[in-house]
Amino acid sequence: MKTVAVTGIGALTRDARGVEALWQHLLSESFPPAPPPTFDASLFRSDRSYIIDPVKQQDEINAIVDREGGDLEPYRHFPCAGYGLLAATEALKQAGVGCVERTQMGISIATTSGGLMDVYAESGGDSSPHIRHNSQCGSAAMLLAETLNLGGPVSTFSCACVSGIASITYGYQRVSQGDVPIMLVGGCDMVREADYAGFNALRAVSPDVCRPFDVDRKGMVMGDGAAMLVLEDLGYARERGANPLAILSGSGLSADGYHITAPRSDGLVRAMRQALVGSGITTGDIGYINCHGTGTPANDGVELEALKSVFGEDATVSISSTKGAVGHLLGSSGALEAVISILALRNGLVPPMPTTKKTDAGHSFRVPLSGSSLPFNSDYVMSNSLGFGGLNGSLVFAAPTKLTTGQCDEQL
């Protein structure tokens, strides 16, 4: 098995273009949710969101497509793919991926629907060829592969909010098994009015803000955007002089087998244990856990229960959810939170949860309440996702310093 390094990361949220801006945004605790710019939400239970105004991104998307020599037209109709392109180019740049690497690079993308079929569905079949030919669930990955001229395999995962971790795990398997030396993985998603209506119907949305793990939490706030990671064989990375930001040391996937919309803790417990075993570490090695933390009463309670099962009733590891600052990015949430986990690992800091004032009793985890970042000193972080149908995913990232000389030599 090859060691899988993360050599590039990229992100786009409503309030942050790029990972540096994202990190600063998380530390700043500013920018509350606002009404969606893409549809009228006044009839809904909530009209709050972290939804991006696609018009504001178009110039930069145009510039990238122009530079890469791609076809701009599809990106006008499918902003989801454009968001993915923005995050992807940032990750590729940081990883120093050039034309040579791209010929072997595969892509594995997560999305829920990303609005890829909606335009066609709403046109009643009367649409332009650009819309028709991209009206498939896998079109964002395909467009990115075409625009960036990626020569490796192209895959798309759509399994609710676990999609991001599923797509990253698939890339991890391809690289660790030596099928391809380098993969672009992550997620891009766009909140459609139908998603907004659906989560409102489920009464899963908060009328004001998302307060993960707060005693007064009332639900989630939806957002959209993208996050991408460059995963590569450590030996391949070293050979071309790329700098590992982190090592993806393990991943876990599981199902609860319980309920379509209500989670249960045992599935997440198994996913976390799988990721820990795959990483060859114990719970004491983990310094921070980026939780799914949607801010719904059910999710956060179950997640705490699962964390206590794995880490112990008296565990004091730092936990947080970043959904109170960026929203719930659906299919791309797992990828964004993986990026945030790596940023936290590299900075040794858990950003504050801007909307969380007082957490549930009955646990001893360290939680960064509003106004207080939490420093931590550890070489491992974990990122968890839960999705509809009781699907669960867990990733563990290690600091590059955890690489032994032996591992480096073996890879080279």
Catalytic machinery residues: 161, 292, 328
Regarding 253 and contact with other proteins (CB under 8 A), the answer is: yes
Q: Which residue stretch of 154-162, 230-238, 295-303, 308-316 sits at the interface with other proteins (rule: CB under 8 A)?
A: 154-162
Residues in Cβ contact with 135 at an 8 Å cutoff, skipping those fewer than 6 apart: 116, 117, 119, 120, 127
Type of residue numbered 332: S
> Which one, of 386, 348, 389, lies nearest residue 368 by Cα?
348
Give the bridge partners for 248, in sequence order: 397
Regarding 120 and contact with other proteins (CB under 8 A), the answer is: yes
**Residues from 127 through 146 that contact other proteins (CB under 8 A):** 129, 132-133, 135-139, 141-142, 145-146
Contact 85, 64 (CB under 8 A): yes
| CB atoms inside a 10 Å sphere around CB 178 | 11
Q: Which residue stretch of 280-288, 313-321, 334-342, 383-391 sits at the interface with other proteins (rule: CB under 8 A)?
A: 383-391
Q: Which is nearer to other proteins, 63 or 262 (CB)?
A: 262
Regarding 113 and contact with other proteins (CB under 8 A), the answer is: yes
**Residues from 388 through 407 that contact other proteins (CB under 8 A):** 388-391
Show the site string, 160-179: x = touches other proteins by CB under 8 A, - = not.
x-x---x---x--x---x-x
Name the pairing type of β-strands 318-320 and 380-387. Answer: unpaired
Contact 323, 48 (CB under 8 A): no
Name which position in 13, 57, 94, 156 contacts other proteins (CB under 8 A).
Answer: 156
Q: Which is nearer to other proteins, 171 or 225 (CB)?
A: 171
**Residues from 195 through 214 that contact other proteins (CB under 8 A):** 196-203
Minimum distance, C-beta of residue 361 to other proteins, in the bound complex (Å): 30
Name which position in 56, 67, 259, 357 contacts other proteins (CB under 8 A).
Answer: 259
- Residues across the chain: 412
Give the bridge partners for 383, in sequence order: 290, 395
Q: Which is nearer to other proteins, 56 or 132 (CB)?
A: 132
Distance of alpha carbon 167 from alpha carbon 186, whole angstroms: 6
Minimum distance, C-beta of residue 356 to other proteins, in the bound complex (Å): 26
Give the bridge partners for 9, in sequence order: 229
For residue 399, the surrounding DSSP H or E stretch is none
Regarding 87 and contact with other proteins (CB under 8 A), the answer is: no
Regarding 80 and contact with other proteins (CB under 8 A), the answer is: no
Distance of alpha carbon 111 from alpha carbon 162, whole angstroms: 10
Q: Which is nearer to other proteins, 274 or 318 (CB)?
A: 274
